[in-house]
Amino acid sequence: MTTILTKVFIIALALVLTAHLLPGVTITGPYPAIIAAVILGLLNILVRPVLVVLTLPVTVVTLGLFIFVINAAMLLLAAYFVEGFTVSGFWVAVVASLVVSVISTVINKLLG
């Protein structure tokens, strides 16, 4: 249970840092960040695998780059569901998903 909570807080922190780094991403407070992290986690568990399987031919043709589009779609979908968390457009979502991935990976490595 603590590992799930830790991961949620790491993603929430990554979302807050991303909102400070990118002008197209806004989070109005800590609660929208935590709710967005939970929603993003649920979307990554439930929806993302289906999208990855359905878009496998496109992903193979683009040598895996289409995964960035799927990650951006998950971020946009989370922003759609969470009030207080906005992403201004698709390309901002692509960059934001990259930044969230890098920040969460660095935090995970620092925590062990």
Mean pLDDT, rounded, for 77-84: 96
Mean pLDDT, rounded, for 19-24: 94
**Domain boundaries defined on the chain:** 2-106
- pLDDT 10s digits, 91-111: 999 999 999 999 999 998 998
pTM > 0.85: yes or no: yes
- pLDDT 10s digits, 23-70: 999 999 999 999 999 999 999 999 999 999 999 999 999 999 999 999
Secondary structure (H, E, C), the chain: CHHHHHHHHHHHHHHHHHHHHCCCEEECCHHHHHHHHHHHHHHHHHCHHHHHHHCHHHHHHCCCCHHHHHHHHHHHHHHHHCCCEEECCHHHHHHHHHHHHHHHHHHHHHHC
